[in-house]
Amino acid sequence: MLGLLALLLHCLPLAAGDYDICKSWVTSDEGPTWEFYACQPKAMRLKDYVKVKVEPKGITCGDPPERFCSHENPYLCSNECDASNPDLAHPPRLMLDREDEGLATYWQSVTWSRYPSPLEANITLSWNKSVELTDDVVVTFEYGRPTAMVLDKSLDHGRTWQPWQFYAEDCAEAFGMPARRARDLAAAGAHRVLCTEEYSRWAGARKEKHVRFEVRERFAIFAGPGLRHMDQLYARLESAKGLRDFFTLTDLRLRLLRPALGGTYVQRENLYKYFYAISNVEVTGRCKCNLHANLCSVREGSLQCECEHNTTGPDCGRCRKNFRTRSWRPGSYLPPPHGSPNACTYRPAATASATATPTAAATSTSSTWSPV
């Protein structure tokens, strides 16, 4: 009895939680049974589980060794990148590491020594799993933010890509788009792809480092300032076509198209001060489990949902064997506060045989029938 009480207390829904448990043990006229709820994993730092790829080949500095200059003083060229020296190398993994004692470590590209050929780089972050963003994507650039870049996303593990947001010092010139801000979007356009100039203008290499994709500002269109009305956001995620998928992805790609120029035109006499350097990429979100799991763990090097509701698969995207009485459906945030689990239901083996028996009998009768 005490064990049953402990289990009941452990599984009771938390009134303040946001779909954080999947089921609780309850008693009914038919006896004790599980009551299911829509559920989702907690948000986490997704960069701890990502794989990074930088292209094209040779875009990372250090092979051969190269010196770099600063924007503030073009004659100060004391920085060096050397891939063979651990103290001077700047490999891609340094944009995802944890900074120790405030000392920034960063990935760095080659310089724009081949100007006027474009200095472009693609940085791809892959999770091998569908994830849903819950906070802003924040990219930290050392020594100046790009004057033009694009953030792309993929929903199919990099097979196809779609632009998520454009960034430019001048949106009209770079992409033929008007400059807009996420905070000014209307509810019907909360998942609109826009171009922003907020994160590209020169403000000093060491003053403004961050480039954001504003998830929270788009959420606030429905949940209000401080995201205090999450039930309204969840309701909108259910009803607005394409809104939920807008914040879902398997891969992110930064297309760096033009480096920081220091607030001036390109000075061809000193091309060693033009390059990219990224010290951090922060991505916060949760595993997409279709509201059928509240835990997500690492299996064989990849994130995978710990599926409930008799579902299975990396995203809990199908019913378990013998639980296919009706077609699989994702869970729903509605009605609050526990949503609809849309659990897969059990189909006993006897039911399957009973269904098969008439068919067999009909086949047998049909085979012996002949016209008079």
- My answer on whether 151 and 281 are in the same domain is yes
**How much is the pLDDT for 110?**
97
Q: What percent of the chain has pLDDT over 90?
A: 70
Instruction: Give the length of the chain.
Output: 372
* 72, part of any domain: yes
340 secondary structure, DSSP code: B
One-letter amino acid for residue 126 of the chain:
S
Query: Does any domain span residue 283?
Result: yes
Q: How does residue 6 score in pLDDT terms, banded at 50, 70 and 90?
A: very low
Tell me, yes or no, whether 198 lies in a domain: yes
Q: Which secondary-structure segment (H or E) carries 19?
A: none
Task: Clarify whether residues 58 and 126 are in a common domain.
Answer: yes
What is the three-class DSSP state of 183? helix
Are residues 297 and 280 located together in one domain of the fold?
no
In this prediction, residue 354 has a pLDDT band, given cuts at 50, 70 and 90, of very low
Global pTM? Answer: 0.86
Number of structural domains found in the chain: 2
For residue 18, give the DSSP letter. Answer: S
Residue 282, beta-bridge partner list: 138
Query: Is the domain of 68 the same as that of 183?
Result: yes
- Is residue 81 domain-shared with residue 27, that is, in the same domain? no
Q: What is the pLDDT of residue 293?
A: 98
Q: Give yes or no for a contact between 145 and 200, defined as CB atoms under 8 angstroms apart.
A: yes
Distance CA(31)–CA(9), nearest Å, equals: 18
Beta carbons of 93 and 106 less than 8 angstroms apart? no
Question: Which residue range(s) make up the domain with 186?
Answer: 44-287
Same-domain pairing of 138 and 242? yes
Flag the least confident range among 9-13, 68-72, 132-136, 192-196. Answer: 9-13
Instruction: Pick the most confident of 55-59, 103-107, 321-325, 326-330.
Output: 55-59
- Give a yes or no: residue 357 inside a domain: no
The pLDDT of residue 204: 64
Do 227 and 333 have their domain in common? no
